[in-house]
Amino acid sequence: MKRWLRHHRYAFLLALRRLRLHPFSSLANIVVIALMLAVPILGAAILQSSQPLARQLSVTPELTLFLASGTSADQQQALLQRVQAESGEEITDAQLLPREQAMRQLQADPAWAQALNALGDNPLPDALIVTLRDSDTPVQQARQLAETWRQWPGVEHVQMDSEWVRRLETLLSFIRVGLGMLAVAVAVVVLATVFNTVRLQALTQRDEIAVARLVGATESFVRRPFLYLGALTGLAASLLALLLAWLALMPLNTLLGHFAQSYGIHWSMQLPATQDLLLAGALVVVLGAAAARLSVTRHTRF
pLDDT, tens digit, for every residue of 7-46? 668 777 777 787 787 788 888 888 888 888 888 888 888 7
Mean pLDDT of 184-191: 80
Report which of residues 55 and 132 the model is more confident about.
132
Of 9-13, 36-40, 108-112, 179-183, the range with the lowest mean pLDDT is 108-112
Distance between CA atoms of residues 175 and 53, nearest Å: 15
Of 97-101, 200-204, 226-230, 251-255, the range with the lowest mean pLDDT is 200-204
User: What is the CATH code of the structural domain delimited by 59-161?
Assistant: 3.30.70.3040
Q: Which pLDDT value is given to residue 240?
A: 92
| Cβ neighbours of residue 124 closer than 8 Å, sequence gap 6 or more | 99, 102, 103, 106
Most confident of 82-96, 173-187, 274-288: 274-288
Q: Is the pLDDT of residue 283 over 80?
A: yes
Report which of residues 176 and 156 the model is more confident about.
156
Q: Which pLDDT value is given to residue 302?
A: 45
| Confidence label for 52 from pLDDT (cuts 50, 70 and 90) | low
pTM of this prediction?
A: 0.60
Q: Which pLDDT value is given to residue 299?
A: 56
Mean pLDDT of 287-299: 79
| Confidence label for 243 from pLDDT (cuts 50, 70 and 90) | very high
When the pLDDT of each residue in the chain is averaged and rounded to a whole number, the result is: 77
> Where are the domain boundaries for CATH 3.30.70.3040 in the chain?
59-161
Distance between CA atoms of residues 46 and 171, nearest Å: 12
Q: Which pLDDT value is given to residue 239?
A: 93
Long-range contacts formed by 7-15: CB under 8 A, 24+ apart: 7/221, 7/224, 8/224, 10/225, 11/221, 11/224, 11/225, 11/227, 11/228, 12/225, 12/228, 14/225, 14/228, 15/225, 15/226, 15/228, 15/229, 15/232
Q: Which pLDDT value is given to residue 297?
A: 74
